[in-house]
Amino acid sequence: MVSIKLNNISLAYKLHEKLTLSAPDRRLGETGGKIEGSGRKQFVQALDGISFELKAGDRLGLVGPNGAGKTTLLKVLYGIYEPSGGTLAIEGKVDALFNINIGFRREATGRRNIVLRGLINGWTEAEIEEKMEDIIAFSELGDFIDLPFKAYSQGMAARLAFSVATALDPEILLMDEWIGAGD
């Protein structure tokens, strides 16, 4: 059964440069992050005590100011960051749309980028070939599919990225800042 279960998730990461804040334990403006420690042992507490459970069919929107940890939480859910505390259990096939340009080469055509993005996602060549025409049709790029990605508008790039990400029916789709990107 498809589900996401977080229990008291936290994420802290070490700073590689000393920041010039006046206090060693200071909130970063109105954001959720907090700098702790001093000298070479400074770190940011990016997430602290996050718990929730989602089941098949649930939707969750994260709202908050810049720096509140929304993208960081999504990256934890996708496995890019490992939480420094708490437990995380995900059942289901996960895909993510974090950045329109991730996994795409500017000089390659849309068609070639479908192949590259599919390979990055772990698809077989047969799976890519099987889905190619459906992805192109869903993207509504028409003949633009054979032009270089760098010639695409923001909306065209978003359509292609969304078409590829949803082509193999992920059970869980993580999206970051996509409302303003597409048409």
Task: Specify if 17 maps to a domain.
Answer: yes
Whole-number Å distance between alpha carbons of 169 and 183: 21
Task: Specify if 16 maps to a domain.
Answer: yes
Tokens for 6, please give them: 């977080």
Strand pairing report for 94-97 and 85-91: unpaired
Show which of 46, 77, 92 is a domain's final residue: 92
Whole-number Å distance between alpha carbons of 177 and 174: 10
Neighbour tally for 119: CB within 10 Å? 14
Question: Which residues have CB under 8 Å from 113's CB, separation 6+?
Answer: 103, 104, 105, 149, 160, 164
Task: Specify if 180 maps to a domain.
Answer: no
Per-residue pLDDT of the chain (183 residues; tens, 9 = 90+): 899 999 999 999 887 655 555 554 454 444 556 667 666 678 888 999 999 999 999 999 999 888 889 999 999 998 889 999 999 999 998 888 887 777 789 999 999 999 998 888 788 999 999 999 999 999 999 999 999 999 999 889 989 988 998 887 788 988 887 655 444
> Are 83 and 12 in the same domain?
yes
Task: Specify if 119 maps to a domain.
Answer: yes
Task: Specify if 133 maps to a domain.
Answer: yes
